[in-house]
Amino acid sequence: MEIDRAMFAQECVRQGVTFRIEPHYLLGVAQLRSGISAASNGNEIGPYRLTQDEWDANRRNEEFDIDFKATEIISWRRQCIVFGLMAHRAFDAFISANGRNPSALELYRQQWSGAASATLATDFQTALDVTAVLIGPAADAVIDDPQTVVTLKSPDQSTTRPVPPLASQGAPEWYGLASNEIGTHEQGNNSGPALARYRQLAQCGKDHDPWCAIFVNAMFASCQPAVPGTRSPSSQSFRNNANFKKLSGPALGAVAVFWRGSPQSTLGHVGFYRGETSESIYVLGGNEDNMVQIEPMSKHQFRDYWWPASAAQPMIGKIAVPPGTPKHKTKVT
């Protein structure tokens, strides 16, 4: 099966952000090793020409929530994920041994110590040159501020850790529970067993109802002890319910309410505040592209922040989303 090069570049940007490795490095290595091909060469498989032993040594990782099967080595998407982890580990190993960031070529040699050849530097340069045109459009599609993605001009160029992690320390219980649901998809039109579970927990809504408010209520109901919700499938129900109080500003896990269509509309979206950029508020919620994920919402459609009246008052303050953060945070699957 041929690999769509634009889609592969987008995946490299996503995994570069996840594993804090220059996306162009991930893309360039695939070009260098296989020409970005899903085919195999002897016992070397897929776009990164991984052996089964290399795959098996890296296909599981608790920190990044990776748990792939041995047979999934043939998936180019999963290869991109696993190679991102491999590059992440090699980057750390190089810094530990040398006390500085590696160049792209040094990182490659850290990963494949036996790969040195008379033409490696020239071949790697060609791979970076060929793929440079793909990086910009891929970054535009994946992250809020695409200018932060670096195009590597040379294999001797130093690589960096492009995106610092966005910590969740101090998050309320409901936010942690919601985070565990990231990657859960609806089935059909606002339907499926996962949504039936959310409706049962939230004690509101019916099959095929839009479910962002149902999800928020379900997370409150899942807390120990349960946090009273609105028992309404309306995204706007948090704005006029005695169980919630309005906040003067954002807080991690606060209920963020948005309008849709017009400010006078009763339609909208609701989710949990994660952070923000100058233009967007990142919201962890349900029914975001038919799933649970973290997605940026326009500040122009923002209404207000709310907090459970039964919970202790949170620390108010903006959380800056680091440059290079993906537009969509989904579970690695």
User: What pLDDT, on a 0 to 100 scale, did the predictor assign at position 218?
Assistant: 98
Assess if CATH 1.10.530 describes domain 5-148.
Answer: yes
In the chain, residues under CATH classification 3.90.1720.10 are 173-308
Collapsed DSSP state (helix, strand, coil) of residue 185: strand
Nearest CA-CA partner of 128 in 104, 161, 145: 104
pLDDT digits (tens, 9 = 90+) for 71-107: 999 999 999 999 999 999 999 899 888 888 899 999 9
* Fold observed for domain 173-308: endopeptidase fold (from Nostoc punctiforme) (3.90.1720)
**H helices, E strands: number in the chain:** 9, 10
Nearest CA-CA partner of 201 in 228, 163, 179: 228
Phi, psi of 15 (to 5 degrees): -75, -30
Residues in the chain with pLDDT < 50? 331-333
pLDDT digits (tens, 9 = 90+) for 174-214: 999 999 898 899 999 999 999 999 999 999 999 999 999 99
Single-letter code of the amino acid located at 146: P
For 193-244, give the DSSP string. Answer: HHHHHHHHHHT---TTS--HHHHHHHHHHHSSSPPP----S-GGGGGG-TTE
For 95-123, give the DSSP string. Answer: HHHHSSPPBHHHHHHHH-TT---TTHHHH
In the chain, residues under CATH classification 1.10.530 are 5-148
User: What pLDDT, on a 0 to 100 scale, did the predictor assign at position 2?
Assistant: 84
The model carries a pTM of 0.64
User: What pLDDT, on a 0 to 100 scale, did the predictor assign at position 144?
Assistant: 76
User: What pLDDT, on a 0 to 100 scale, did the predictor assign at position 96?
Assistant: 83
Q: Which two tokens stand for residue 327?
A: 């537009």
